[in-house]
Amino acid sequence: MKMVAIKRQGLEKDLGSLLESAGFALTEKDRKYIPKKWDIFSDLVLLPADAFSGGIWISLEPIALWKCVAKSFHVDRVARQGRIRSDAFRSPRVEMLLGSNTWAKKKENGLIYELNITKSMFSSGNITEKTRMLNLDCEGDVIVDLFAGIGYFTIPLLKAGAAKVYACEWNPYAVEALRRNLKLNRMEDRCEVLFGDNRQVAPVGVADRVVLGLIPSSEMSWPAAIKCLKTSHGGVLHVHMNVETLKTDQQQHVFSTYHTEQSSDYFYIASSVDWKNSPLFRDFAFTIMRRLHDMCNEMFLERWLITVVHFERVKSYGPKVWHCVYDVELRPLSYRNSSSNRLIN
């Protein structure tokens, strides 16, 4: 945050000089339209929607303003975000202010991502989860990424040593970027891109792990995720969810109902799980386990055991909603009863 503040001071100084040369003075009203955050790509700065949208800025010669901004950020191109479209892909609205090429690259954790910023979004907010996937012990695993996007988790998992990743994605623009990113990172030989709705195109019975990286909820694809797992010994689902931390009366009833299931022979929580001092996160784990258990009962003759082995808070959307990830292990009972594969509860 300190670096952002320093950069903003430099930006404000450069803009002040621009205004002075045009015969204007920088006022407090004008300052509120100078952005406090932005996203930097290799040679492009992406500004928030309200940046320079009022005050003296709309009276300036646009090309002079955007060249000043570009120079201050040491980039060649400037773009500004708009509201997310209400289409099935939640496509971004982005206006190119300086430059016309809409493809941009970003390096993160030593990996390269390229995307068309007018067609796909780059999520910087889930950097902690991308880093966790990069450091995951998945050497030799077969993984299915049900919401691959441009490769947010697919690329780190391949870097972490996954033997193969099946990447499902139904947005054609994201698929184009994903294929580019696999090639840029020299990983295309270990990834099979499956274009379409994951409930229709996801492979069956192949996976040691399945990533469900969709918020606010990925529940519509939980049955597909279960079917992806190897039927002989199951695997781990990385379940992304938005969890409300303000408990309503309705939530209280739901959580209380599932809370009574803690003694079930089929639900477990690993003792190492850290709930970040919030029992609501733990209560929600039982909601997830119960639903997954019911789905397994519908699909298989044999009982399956459900264990939450890890919990991660990724990002807060205000004081009441958290983007969370539950790592949930699903194993057939016969696997658990094998002495060499006994689970810890």
3-class SS string, 137-165: CCCCCEEEECCCCCCCCHHHHHHCCCCEE
Minimum mean pLDDT among 206-210, 274-278, 339-343: which range?
339-343
321-332 β-sheet, strand order:
191-195, 164-169, 142-145, 209-212, 235-244, 321-332, 304-316, 267-269
d(CA 231, CA 332): 8
337 and 302 both lie in a single domain: yes
Task: Categorize the per-residue pLDDT at 244 as very low, low, confident or very high, splitting at 50, 70 and 90.
Answer: confident
Asked whether residue 168 is assigned to any structural domain, the reply reads yes
Average pLDDT, the chain: 89
> What is the model's pLDDT at position 84?
67
34 vs 318 pLDDT, higher one: 34
d(CA 293, CA 227): 13
Which residues touch 46 (CB under 8 Å, ≥6 apart)? 38, 39, 40, 79, 80, 81, 94, 104, 117
At residue 192, φ and ψ (nearest 5 deg) are -110, 115
Task: Categorize the per-residue pLDDT at 264 as very low, low, confident or very high, splitting at 50, 70 and 90.
Answer: low
d(CA 251, CA 245): 10
In the predicted model, what is the mean pLDDT of residues 253-276?
64
Minimum mean pLDDT among 33-47, 115-129, 258-272: which range?
258-272
Where does a domain end: 101, 134, 157? 101
Taking a C-beta distance cutoff of 8 angstroms, is the pair 190, 266 a contact?
no
Where does a domain end: 101, 136, 171? 101
Whether the pLDDT of residue 88 is over 70: the answer is no
pTM beyond 0.85, yes or no: yes
Whether the pLDDT of residue 261 is over 60: the answer is no
Which contacts (CB < 8 Å, 24+ apart) does range 62-67 have?
A: 62/97, 63/98, 64/18, 64/22, 65/18, 66/97, 66/98, 67/98
109 vs 249 pLDDT, higher one: 109
> What is the model's pLDDT at position 53?
93
Domains contained in the chain, number? 2
Asked whether residue 68 is assigned to any structural domain, the reply reads yes
Asked whether residue 36 is assigned to any structural domain, the reply reads yes
Where does a domain end: 86, 101, 116? 101
- As a whole number of Å, the end-to-end CA separation of the chain is 41
263 and 212 both lie in a single domain: yes
Residue 177, SS3 per DSSP = helix
> What is the model's pLDDT at position 18?
94
Asked whether residue 188 is assigned to any structural domain, the reply reads yes
14 and 152 both lie in a single domain: no
> What is the model's pLDDT at position 161?
97
Asked whether residue 118 is assigned to any structural domain, the reply reads no
The CATH number covering residue 130 comes to 3.40.50.150
217 and 72 both lie in a single domain: no
Query: Six-digit token pair at 91?
Result: 């496509």
Number of neighbouring beta carbons within 10 Å of residue 172: 11
Asked whether residue 276 is assigned to any structural domain, the reply reads yes
142 and 263 both lie in a single domain: yes
Whether the pLDDT of residue 258 is over 50: the answer is no
d(CA 75, CA 3): 17
> What is the model's pLDDT at position 5?
77
185 and 61 both lie in a single domain: no
Tens-place pLDDT, residues 182-202 = 999 999 999 999 999 999 999
41 and 159 both lie in a single domain: no
Asked whether residue 109 is assigned to any structural domain, the reply reads no
215 and 90 both lie in a single domain: no
Kindly report the length of the chain: 345
95 and 194 both lie in a single domain: no
289 vs 92 pLDDT, higher one: 289
From 215, 168, 223, select the one nearest 313 (Cα to Cα). Answer: 215
> What is the model's pLDDT at position 127?
93
227 and 292 both lie in a single domain: yes
12 and 62 both lie in a single domain: yes
Q: How far is CA 216 from CA 233, 242, 303, 306, in A?
A: 29, 5, 29, 22
From 185, 194, 189, select the one nearest 105 (Cα to Cα). Answer: 185
Whether the pLDDT of residue 342 is over 80: the answer is no
In the predicted model, what is the mean pLDDT of residues 291-319?
92
Asked whether residue 96 is assigned to any structural domain, the reply reads yes
90 and 158 both lie in a single domain: no
Whether the pLDDT of residue 211 is over 90: the answer is yes
Tens-place pLDDT, residues 22-73 = 888 899 999 999 999 999 999 999 999 999 999 999 999 999 999 999 999 9
What is the residue type of 188? Answer: E
For residue 320, what are the domain limits?
A: 125-341
> What is the model's pLDDT at position 87?
59
In the predicted model, what is the mean pLDDT of residues 208-223?
96
337 vs 298 pLDDT, higher one: 298
Give buried/exposed letters for 275-313 (b at 16+ CB in 10 A, else e).
beeeebbbbbbbbbbbebbebbeeeeeeebbbbbbbbbb
Tens-place pLDDT, residues 231-243 = 999 999 999 999 9
Whether the pLDDT of residue 80 is over 80: the answer is yes
Handedness of CA 289, 149, 137, 243 (dihedral sign): negative
Residue 80, SS3 per DSSP = strand
From 207, 96, 87, select the one nearest 144 (Cα to Cα). Answer: 207
The CATH number covering residue 47 comes to 3.30.300.110
- Cα 50 vs. chain centroid, distance in angstroms? 24
